[in-house]
Structure 1
Amino acid sequence: MSLFDRRTLLLMPLVLAACGFEPVYAPGGSGAALNGKVAVSVPNSTDSYLMVQNLEQRLGRSANSGNDYNLDVSVATVIRSAAITPTNEINRYTIEGRANYALKSNSTGQVVASGAVNNFVGYSAAGSTVSTLADERDARQRLMVILADQIVNELYATPGLGS
Structure 2
Amino acid sequence: MSSFNRRHFLSLAAAGPLLAACGFEPVYGTRGHASGLLNQVVLDAPTDSNTYILVRELEDRLGRVPRGRYGMTVSVAVTERSAGRTITGVTSRYDVIGDATYALRDLATGEVVTSGKVQNYTGYSATGTTVATLAAQTDSHERLMVMLTDQIMVALWAWSAKAAS
TM-score range (shorter-chain normalised) is 0.7 to 0.9
TM superposition shift of 1:24? 1.6
Q: Does structure 1 residue 153 correspond to structure 2 residue 154?
A: yes
TM-score using structure 2 length: 0.82
TM superposition shift of 1:27? 2.8
Q: 2:90 maps to which residue?
A: 89
TM superposition shift of 1:28? 4.4
Gaps of 5+ in 2: 1-16
Report the residue type matching 1:92 in the other structure.
Answer: R
Q: 2:9 maps to which residue?
A: none
State the alpha-carbon separation in 2 of the partners of residues 39 and 32 from structure 1: 15
Number of residues paired by the alignment? 149
Q: 2:126 maps to which residue?
A: 125
Q: Trace 1:64-75 onto structure 2 (pairs within 5 A).
A: 64-65=66-67, 67-75=68-76
Q: Does structure 1 residue 104 correspond to structure 2 residue 105?
A: yes
Is the contact made by 1:29 and 1:162 (CA closer than 8 Å) also made in structure 2? no
TM superposition shift of 1:13? 6.4
Distance 1:109 1:22, change over 3 A: farther
Is the contact made by 1:32 and 1:162 (CA closer than 8 Å) also made in structure 2? no
Deviation string 1:66-87 (CA, Å, 9 cap, x unpaired) is: x110010000000000001111
Gaps of 5+ in 1: 1-9
TM superposition shift of 1:22? 6.1
TM superposition shift of 1:107? 2.1
From 40, 43, 46, give the equivalent of 1:43.
Answer: 46
Structure 1 runs of 4+ with >3 Å offset: 10-14, 159-163
Is the contact made by 1:72 and 1:103 (CA closer than 8 Å) also made in structure 2? yes
Q: 1:77 maps to which residue?
A: 78
Q: 2:59 maps to which residue?
A: 56
Is the contact made by 1:81 and 1:93 (CA closer than 8 Å) also made in structure 2? yes
Is the contact made by 1:101 and 1:115 (CA closer than 8 Å) also made in structure 2? yes
Q: 2:3 maps to which residue?
A: none
Question: Sequence identity, in percent?
Answer: 44
State the alpha-carbon separation in 1 of the partners of residues 19 and 153 from structure 2: 26
TM-score using structure 1 length: 0.83
Determine which structure has the larger helix proportion and give its number.
2
Deviation string 1:87-116 (CA, Å, 9 cap, x unpaired) is: 101110010000000000112221111000
Aligned partner of residue 119 in structure 2, secondary structure: strand
State the alpha-carbon separation in 2 of the partners of residues 110 and 104 from structure 1: 5
State the alpha-carbon separation in 2 of the partners of residues 30 and 72 from structure 1: 21
Aligned partner of residue 78 in structure 2, secondary structure: strand
What RMSD in Å do the two structures reach over aligned CA positions?
2.0
